[in-house]
Each structure stands twice: as C-alpha cells, then as structure tokens.
Structure 1
Amino acid sequence: MDILLTTLNSKYIHSSLALRYIRGYCEDQFNINLLEYTINQHGDDIVAEIYRQQADIIGFSCYIWNIEKTLEVIKLLKKVQPEVKVILGGPEVSYDPVQVMKENKEIDYIVYGEGEITFKELLIELEDKEDFEGIEGLVYRKEGSIIKNKSRAVIEDLDIIPSPYSDLEGLDNKIIYFESNRGCPYNCQYCLSSTLSAVRYFSLDRVKEDLLKLIKAKVRQVKFVDRTFNCNQNRALEIFKFLLENKAEDHEMNFHFEITADLLTDEVIEFLADVPKGYFQFEIGVQSTNKDTLEVIDRRVSFERLSKVVKSLSQPENIHLHLDLIAGLPKEDYQSFKQSFNDVYNLNPGRLQLGFLKLLKGSGLRNKAVEYEFVWMDNPPYEVLASKELSYKEILKLKMIEEVLESYGNSHNFENSLEFIISNFYDTPFDFYEDLASFWEEKGYYRYAHKFQNLYKYLQEFYREYCKDSLDIFGEILKFDFLLNKRKIDLPKFLSKYEIDDYKSKFKSFINNDNNIRKYLPNLSKYSSRRIQRKVQVEGFAYDIVEVIKDMDKYHKKKLTNILFDYYDKEGLFDKAKFTKIKL
C-alpha cells in the first residue's frame, strides 16, 4: 500500500507534529510519505499534487483553521481518484465524527482521540482482512451505515511513541512543535483540554534526547505545545537547565513555552533571570481579571500572584512575555473587559494578545451556549459574535482595538510615542486605544496594509486631531521612535529634520577619530570608517530627547541635541538601535 499523510497548515512556517507522530509510530511496518500544504494554497493545486502521488490511503489532520479547506480538497480528490481511501483525524473531527461522516460521504474513516495506535491498527486491517470492529477510536462505513467503535484509552506510557524527529527533512526554517507532556491539569471551560485526561509525561531522558537532536540540527524555534508546561515545577526547571547547558553558541534559536505564571516558584524565577536574552519566550494565559468570569470558566488563577511573577520575569528584560486576553467570556461586559485590558497592559508584556472567544466543539461553554446567550459563527472558527453581556457592536469595537493594538502596541515600534500620549492625555491605555480605533475606522485605514513609515504618519495625524497640545515635542518623540527602529538618512517629510552645519565634514571627522569610536562605538572598533558609516546615523533634535523620554511631561525647554544611533546590534524583532548624545 502507498500511504500519504498530509495537512493544511495555517502558514508556511508551521509544521505538523501530529503527522510526524503517526508516521513514526507506523514506519516499522509501513512506508509512509508526508506532505504539508497551507490554507492559502489553491485547493485544485493541492489536489493535483496529491493526485500525482497515486497513494492508496491518504490521512488528513484536521483543525478549526483547515477543516473547510480540507473537506473541499477531499471532495475534489474523490472525483478524480474515487478509489482512494480517505482517513481524517484531529480535534475538529474527534468530537462528533459520525455527524461529520454523515455530512461528507467522501470520508471513509475517522480516527478520533489519540491517533497513533488506532491509525496503525487501521492500516493493518486495510492491508489484510478489513475487520474494523475491534479497532478502538475508529469510525467507519459498513453496508450503508456509519459505525462508531468505543473510544480508545489514552496512551499512559508515551515513550512507546517513537520520536517524531528522527527525520528532520522538510523542516528547514520551520517552527518545530514539541511535546513533553499530554493532557492538562485544569478544566477551563473554553478549552478542549478540559475534555482530556490528567497530565501524562514523556520521560525526561526521551525529552532531552529529542531536544538535543533539535539543538544540534540548529533549528530556529522550538514551540512547546504542552498545555501547561510548568505544571510540574521540578521537571520544568530540569528542562530549562538542560536547554541552558546545551545552548548552541554559534546559532540563534529560541524556545517557546505556554506556562501558568502563578505556579512559578521563586527558585525557578531566580534561575530564569540568568537565561540569555531571547532564548526563552513565555505565553501566559490571563484571559480575564474579572473574578466572576474566572469562576464561571473554572480558571483558578490568582492575578495578584500572576502580576508579581510577570513583573519579576520582566525585570531582567531577557524573556519575551506574551499575555493573552479573551473577549466574549461570560460575566465580562465591555467595561469589565476594559479593566482586564488595563490590568494586563499595565504589566508591560512583550505582547498583549487580544483574542475572541471560540465555542469549540465539546467545550463546556459551547454546551452552555443557550444559558450565556451566545451568538456565534456556525462554521469554524466558531467565534462568538455577541453574548448576554457583550453586543455585536461592542465586539466590532474590540476588533478594531485589536487591529490598532497589533499595529502600534505589539509592534514595539512606537514605545515612547505611545507612552507620551497615554501618560499626558488619557486616564487608561484602553481609552487611548479606543480613540485610536475610532480614528482608524473613520479614516478607513483598516481596509488595507500599511508601509512602515506610514504608520508613523497616521499616528501623527491622530495626535493632531485628538491630542493637539505640544505638537512639536511629540513630533520629536515620534522621530526618535522612528530612528530607533529604522536607519533612514533621508527622513520622511512629515518628520522634522534639523540640519547640522557642515554635517558631512563634522561627521567624517567624528568617525575617523579613534577616541570617539572607543568611547561611543566600541563594538565597531575593528571596522573601517566607511563600514562604520553604514551602521550609524547622527540626527539633530529640537529637544534633549534623552531627557524627554526619561520624563514624559508635555513641557520641556528646547535644546538642540545631536543623537548618535548605532544599528550594529539591531537584528532581533524587538531590538532597538543604541543611542547616545554627542557633539559634532
């Protein structure tokens, strides 16, 4: 039998862990090919490529982001290759597999629940006598009926599943998804993990062996998909230590973890303070700070403890923190969500993810949708459009706030400009983003993508309409933010440029002075003056901008100041140019 495993990832940079588990578990008996596509590719192109494989059996991994496109592909594929056996698996077909097969005659089998053992047993039967009755976790067709066998117990000894990364072919420049445990200790009612069993672990030896393989392969990013990576603190600390001990010195890579912040012990926090900058990233699900909401969704989190931990993690500025909020949860109206937003924003996370509630099949909130008066999309991603507490109009306002938050707050390209506006003109960060969202909608800027420098221009427009006072000082702060993020000798016209007398001659003299290089640009001392010129820029400001950003008051005296921007070490996503005051 020729067997193909495939899926449609949401982006090209993503990769499928599930398919690699299945292949690894079955490859001692079966030769399995693996192909991955994205939801952005044309369905007929995907079908054409799959058809050329002439596989006898094709397995598709299904999620909310790809199920509709996957079904489209299957329908086309069955028209041109009707004899092929189609198997579906994954979260989106596991909750109500019989109904999925009733609605889609092109599906021959569905593997529901954990799929490794079930898929292999199915392949054995397809190769031999085709007796499916004893295969747990399988749905199949028989004589015009759809049969659902009893569910399969979860795999207790996860080490029986071979490494998904014995072969790293096709993973160049992709995000590598990694699992050190399965299950979840919590019962959050918006999440499918609430339907899963208690946490099970791969052995630490197995985890370390696989991680070392990825480190030696010099992959760029490893993203742990564990629902709560640090549910076992000692184990989490041991993995952290292992990654630090085996850090590749000649290659930039990072590890992303979903953690519960209030569980972190002081010992772990102390250890994390010394992790190299950018090596670890943490995603922390706050979801809401409304106590009534947290109780309804069965999320036992102390925001007081979480805040303390986030501040401790933020202090060394070495770990990128990504904090999540969900709009549309029960008991959270617009004003309550505003408070949740402000609570989290004021923790200064590297990223504030504003998401919207999705009523996933089988989740507790979907089962109580009538009680909470949810209005939601019938098709994936099943996003909530309104609730008892939140109208559709308010959801739309939050959607626009999400857009400007992504463009401005989460981009980190406007940090000083936003701080100046919020501290001088708004009571809370949410109030500012609410006004910026209204401005964005009025101007129609949400309708298309924007160039980097235009975002600065639009923020200047917003300031002139909504803030007005101290336009000149804000213009200098905006220019400063612009130059921290982008070297551009010819500034855009909307930013003020102060010509320095005899600039070229003075700048050349400055660069050719060894004492200046040692004092201001020690990292560039080994380079020629010509090379140094390409890595730095000097710009004049009407104010002492260094003092302005230390004190964000609206009123400062004018004082012409020259700033040297050093772009040599600006390589990472959130890196800024180094800067210092100089005299030319």
Structure 2
Amino acid sequence: MEVLLSALNASFVHSSLAIRYLRSYCEDEFKIEISEYTINQHSDDIAAEIYKANPDVLGFSCYIWNIDKTLDIIKILKKVKPELTIILGGPEVSYNPVKLMEAYAEIDYIIYSEGEYSFKELLTSLKYNKPFSNVKGLVYRQENKIIKNEPQPVIDDLDIIPSPYNQIGGLENKIAYFEASRGCPFNCQYCLSSTLSSVRNFSLKRVKTELLRLINAKVKQVKFVDRTFNCNSKRTWEIFKFLLDNKPDDHEINFHFEIAADLLSNEMIEWLKQVPIGYFQFEIGVQSTKSATLDIIQRKMDFNRVKEVVNELLEAENIHLHLDLIAGLPREDYERFKESFNDVYQLKPHKLQLGFLKLLQGSGLRKNAEEYGYLFTERPPYEVLANNDISYDQILNLKMVEEVLETFGNAHYFDHSLEFIYQNFYDSYFELYYDLASFWEEGEYYRYSHKLTFLYQVLQKFYQQHCQAKQKLFNEVLKFDYLLGRRRVNNLPDFLTRYRIENYKTRFRDFTNNPKEIKKYFVELNQLSSRQLRKEIQIETFAYDIIEAIKEPTKELKKGQTNILFNYHNKEGLFNKAQFKKVEI
C-alpha cells in the first residue's frame, strides 16, 4: 500500500510540520512519501504530479489558507483515479467533518482529533481490512451513512511520537516549524487553541536534540508554533540558553517565538540583550488595548507591562519585535481601534501587523457571532466584513491602511521620511497612514506591484500634496533614506537632487587612497584596498545638516551643505542598513 501525504503551503519557503509528524509516527510499519506544494500553484498541475506518483492512499493537511484548493485537487483526482483513497485532516476539517463529507463525496475519511494515533490505526484498518469502528477520531462512510467515531484522547506523553525531523532532506534555506509543546494556557475566544487541552510539553532532552538537528541542517528559520512559548519560564530560559550556546558560525539562522511579553521577567530581559542581532524574533499578540474588548475575548494581558518590556527590548536593538493587532474585535469601534493602533505604533516595534478577525469554525467568537452582529465571508478564511461596532466601509479603510503600513512602515526603507512627516504635520500615526492610504487608493497604486525606487517617488508626491512646507528639506531626508538601505548607487533617480562638490572624483580618489583619513571614520575599512573601498562606500552631499534633520525633525535648519560617508561594507542592525558619518573631503 503506497501512501502519500501532501500539504499546500502558503509559499515555497514554508514547510508542513503535520505531515512530517504523521510520517514519522507510521514509518515503522508503512512506506510513506511526502510531497509539498504551494497555494500559488495551479490545481491541475498539482493533481497531475500526484496522479503520476500513483499512490493508493492520499492524505492532505487542511487549514483555512489551503482548504479550497485542496478540495479542487481531490475532485480532479477522484475523476481520473476513483479507486484512490483520500484522507483529510487538520483544523479546517475537524469542526464539522460530517457536513463536509456530505458536501464532498470525494472525501473517504476525515481525522478530526490529534492525528498520530488515528492515522496509524486507519492505515492498519485499510491494509488488513479491519473494521473502522474502533478507530477513534475518525469519520468514515459505511454504506449510505457517514459515521463519526468518538474522539481520540490527546497524547499525554509527547515523547512517544518520533521526531518529525528524522528525515530532514529538502529543508535547507526553508522555514521549519517546530513544537516544544502542544496546547495553550489561555482561552482567547478568537483562537482554536481555546478548544484544546491544557499545555503538554515535549521533554527538554527531546527538544534540544531536534533543534540541534535543524541547526545542522542549515534551515533558514525555525518557527516555534507553541501558542505561548514562554508560559513556563524555566523551560523558556533553558531553551534560549541552549540556542545561544549552539549558534552556528558557518551559516545564518534565526528562531521565531510567539511570546506573552508581560510574562518576561526583568532578569530574562537583561539576559536577552546579549543575544546576537537577528538570532531571535519575538511575535507579541496585543490584539487590542481596550480592556472591555480584551475581557470579552478572554485575552489576558497587562499592556502597561507589555510597553515596559517592548521598550527594554527595543533599546538593545538585537531582537526583531513583531506586534499584532486585530481589527473587528467585539466592542471596539473604528475610533477606538485608532487608539489601539496609535498605542502600539508609538512603541515603534519593528513590525506592526494589522490583521483582521477571522471567525474560525469552533471558536468562541464564531459561536457567539450573532450577539455581536458579525458579517463574515462564508468560505475560508471566514474574515469579518462588519459587526455592530464597525462598518464594512470602515473595514475597507483599514484594509488600505494595512496595505500602506506594509508597503512603507514595515518595509523600513522610509523610516526617517515617515517620522519627519509625522513630527511636522500629524498628531497621530493613524491619521498619517490614513491619509497615505487615501492617496494610495486615489492614485490606484494598489492595483500593481511597484519597484522600490518608484515607492520613494510616491511618498514624495504624497508629501507635495499633503504637507507642502519644508519640501526641500524633506527631499533630502528622502534621499538619505534612499541611500541608507541600498548598496552603492552611481546615479540618483531624477526626482532626487544630487549635489557635487568641485573636483569630486579627484578628491574622492585621494580620500580613498589615504588610510589615515579612512581610519578617522571607520577603522574596519582599513583592511580594504583603495579599489575595493571605492566599491563599498559612497560620499553624498546634502543641502542641509541631514544628521540634525533626522535627529530633530521639527528643528528649523538653514541651508548648508553636508557630506555624508555611507559605509556599505559594514552594514548594521536588524535591517542591514549602511553605517554613516559626516565627512570632510
């Protein structure tokens, strides 16, 4: 019996943890292959590849982002290979599996509980023609009926599950998903974790062994899927220390954790400041700063403590901080959501993700949708369109705000320019992004993808239309941002002004031929030859003291040329930007 497990990932760099768990748990008795695709591939192309693989049994791992395409694929496969046995599992098919099987005759079986035990028992029943009635967590067809067996109890001793990474091929330069635990200590009503059991942990010995295996496999990123990674401080500390002790020297890798910032102790925060730049990433779910809303969704959070922790971690400039907000939560209207946005944006996280509530099947908010007047899409991802407190028009406004936030704010190519605009012309960050979103929509920029250089010009046009004063100074700040995040450029785009000092080429060559002069600014550049140096640095002239302009954006500055040396050889920080200093040439 040839078994193929498949998953449609969000993009090529992602990987499926679920199908690797199932393979590892069953491979002592069954030959199982895995194949992964993306939701961006055509259904008929994926179906063709699976058909050519000629499995007897096909399993799919199903989530809100891939269920529709998965169903398309199995429809094709059942037409051309009706004898193929199709098994679905995962969160998106677990809440109402009987109804789904009634709607899709192509589905032979659904596993709706924790999958390892049930999947292996099902394969055993298929291979040896045993009754399906004994397989807990299974939904199956019997004559003209659909039978749902009792749930499979959760696995208490997680270490009995073999490692999903015993076979590790194909993960180099990809994101590997990782569990140190299952379950969640909290009960957030928008999340499916609220329907699961309490936290169960893999042993630390097991966790360390698997992490070392992933480090040695040179994966791009290890993303922990633990719902609240730091709910157990002692375990958290030990895993953090292990990762720091085993940081590789021969390749880049980082580790992403979802944490509750208010649970971090001051001692741990101090320790975290020694972590190498970019090695850890923290995702912190704020969701809302309105207490009444947090109470309704049963989200426990001390936002004042979150602010303290975020500010402390940001000072160290070594850990990427990603903070989340959810629009469309109960009792948070449009005006109050603006406050949540400003509360979080003012912390200056490295990324503010503005997400939109999804009423997941089985979640508490989905069950109480009528109480809050929710309108939402019938098909996955069940995204909210409106509720009693926020209209569809307002949701659409926030959608456009989210787009420009991603394009300009979270990209970090325009940091000084955006701050200059805010400091001089706005009282709130939300209003800045709202105006930018309106400009973006009016210009129909949202219809197409754009090169980075063009986005600088878009921001310049926005400034000319909405701000007007200090235009020449802003153009210099924009030019500074343009040069800061790039490699050396021979020519500036036409919309940015280049100033050249007299005999620049000769003076630049003399400067790069003088090690003592170079050492005054960047000692580490002395190791480069003059020829190499000229490829790694750039000296650009600004019409104002640009360092003062970015330090104090509201300060009135007189014109006066300043030369800035951009060092692209030794970029720094989480966003790999050029170092810079004033220079005499």
Separation (CA, whole Å) in 1 of partners of 2:518 and 2:130: 77
Query: Does the 8 Å contact 1:470/1:554 carry over to 2?
Result: no
Q: Which residue pairs with 1:208 in the alignment?
A: 208
Query: Does the 8 Å contact 1:375/1:386 carry over to 2?
Result: yes
Q: Which residue pairs with 2:490 in the alignment?
A: 489
Give 1:457-472 correspondences, 5 Å limit.
Answer: 457-472=457-472
Give the AA of the match of 1:557. Answer: K
Give 1:326-475 correspondences, 5 Å limit.
Answer: 326-475=326-475
Query: Does the 8 Å contact 1:111/1:138 carry over to 2?
Result: yes
Superposed displacement of residue 573, structure 1 = 6.7
Query: Does the 8 Å contact 1:473/1:554 carry over to 2?
Result: no
Q: Which residue pairs with 2:313 in the alignment?
A: 313
Query: Does the 8 Å contact 2:400/2:437 carry over to 1?
Result: yes
Give the AA of the match of 2:492. Answer: L
Superposed displacement of residue 575, structure 1 = 1.4
Larger CA deviation: 555-564 vs 522-531:
522-531
Query: Does the 8 Å contact 1:479/1:495 carry over to 2?
Result: yes
Cα gap change, 1:178 to 1:572, in 2 (>3 Å) = farther
Separation (CA, whole Å) in 2 of partners of 1:38 and 1:233: 36
Identity %: 61
Superposed displacement of residue 500, structure 1 = 1.5
Give 1:102-141 correspondences, 5 Å limit.
Answer: 102-141=102-141
Query: Does the 8 Å contact 2:172/2:217 carry over to 1?
Result: no
1:581 and 2:582 are equivalent in the alignment: yes
Q: Which residue pairs with 2:527 in the alignment?
A: 526
Separation (CA, whole Å) in 1 of partners of 2:342 and 2:273: 26
Separation (CA, whole Å) in 2 of partners of 1:524 and 1:304: 44
The 3-state SS of whatever aligns with 1:41 is coil
Query: Does the 8 Å contact 1:3/1:32 carry over to 2?
Result: yes
Cα gap change, 1:173 to 1:283, in 2 (>3 Å) = same
Q: Which residue pairs with 2:27 in the alignment?
A: 27
Separation (CA, whole Å) in 2 of partners of 1:39 and 1:551: 46
1:539 and 2:540 are equivalent in the alignment: yes
The 3-state SS of whatever aligns with 1:164 is coil
The 3-state SS of whatever aligns with 1:579 is strand
Give 1:201-350 correspondences, 5 Å limit.
Answer: 201-350=201-350
Separation (CA, whole Å) in 1 of partners of 2:555 and 2:82: 71
Deviations 1:51-104 (A, max 9, x none): 011110000000000000000000000011110100000000011110110000
Superposed displacement of residue 522, structure 1 = 2.4
Superposed displacement of residue 518, structure 1 = 2.0
Query: Does the 8 Å contact 1:424/1:554 carry over to 2?
Result: no
Separation (CA, whole Å) in 2 of partners of 1:253 and 1:417: 31
The 3-state SS of whatever aligns with 2:527 is coil
Deviations 1:469-498 (A, max 9, x none): 010100100000000012322000101111
Separation (CA, whole Å) in 2 of partners of 1:327 and 1:438: 18
State TM-score, norm by structure 2.
Answer: 0.99
Number of aligned residues: 584
Separation (CA, whole Å) in 2 of partners of 1:555 and 1:477: 14
Give the AA of the match of 1:289. Answer: T
Separation (CA, whole Å) in 1 of partners of 2:506 and 2:219: 46
The 3-state SS of whatever aligns with 2:255 is strand
Separation (CA, whole Å) in 2 of partners of 1:129 and 1:455: 62
The 3-state SS of whatever aligns with 1:5 is strand
Superposed displacement of residue 525, structure 1 = 2.0
Separation (CA, whole Å) in 2 of partners of 1:198 and 1:205: 21
Give 1:567-578 correspondences, 5 Å limit.
Answer: 567-570=568-571, 574-578=575-579
Separation (CA, whole Å) in 1 of partners of 2:477 and 2:220: 34
Superposed displacement of residue 170, structure 1 = 1.4
Larger CA deviation: 151-160 vs 211-220:
211-220
Q: Which residue pairs with 2:515 in the alignment?
A: 514
Separation (CA, whole Å) in 1 of partners of 2:252 and 2:62: 32
The 3-state SS of whatever aligns with 1:238 is helix
Superposed displacement of residue 519, structure 1 = 2.3
Query: Does the 8 Å contact 2:358/2:384 carry over to 1?
Result: yes
Deviations 1:260-313 (A, max 9, x none): 000111121111011111000000000000111001101111101111111111
The 3-state SS of whatever aligns with 1:30 is coil
Superposed displacement of residue 168, structure 1 = 1.0
Q: Which residue pairs with 2:196 in the alignment?
A: 196
Give the AA of the match of 1:475. Answer: N
Give the AA of the match of 1:234. Answer: K
Superposed displacement of residue 569, structure 1 = 2.8
Give the AA of the match of 1:501. Answer: E
Separation (CA, whole Å) in 2 of partners of 1:523 and 1:363: 55
Give the AA of the match of 2:249. Answer: E
Query: Does the 8 Å contact 1:137/1:149 carry over to 2?
Result: yes
Separation (CA, whole Å) in 1 of partners of 2:319 and 2:295: 30
Give the AA of the match of 1:102. Answer: E
Query: Does the 8 Å contact 1:87/1:108 carry over to 2?
Result: yes
1:58 and 2:88 are equivalent in the alignment: no
Query: Does the 8 Å contact 1:43/1:72 carry over to 2?
Result: yes
Separation (CA, whole Å) in 2 of partners of 1:68 and 1:12: 18
Superposed displacement of residue 571, structure 1 = 7.9
Separation (CA, whole Å) in 2 of partners of 1:84 and 1:204: 41
Separation (CA, whole Å) in 2 of partners of 1:489 and 1:388: 55
Deviations 1:423-479 (A, max 9, x none): 110001001001111111111111111110111101110111101101010010000
The 3-state SS of whatever aligns with 1:489 is coil
The 3-state SS of whatever aligns with 1:34 is strand
Separation (CA, whole Å) in 2 of partners of 1:523 and 1:34: 48
The 3-state SS of whatever aligns with 1:141 is strand
Give the AA of the match of 1:61. Answer: S
Give the AA of the match of 1:547. Answer: E
Give the AA of the match of 1:290. Answer: K
Q: Which residue pairs with 1:500 in the alignment?
A: 501
Cα gap change, 1:124 to 1:572, in 2 (>3 Å) = farther
Separation (CA, whole Å) in 2 of partners of 1:414 and 1:192: 37
Give the AA of the match of 1:565. Answer: F
The 3-state SS of whatever aligns with 2:8 is strand
For structure 2, the 5+ residue unaligned runs are: none
Separation (CA, whole Å) in 1 of partners of 2:507 and 2:484: 22
Separation (CA, whole Å) in 1 of partners of 2:289 and 2:269: 23
State TM-score, norm by structure 1.
Answer: 0.99
Separation (CA, whole Å) in 2 of partners of 1:522 and 1:167: 46
Deviations 1:19-48 (A, max 9, x none): 000000000101100000011111111111
The 3-state SS of whatever aligns with 1:569 is strand
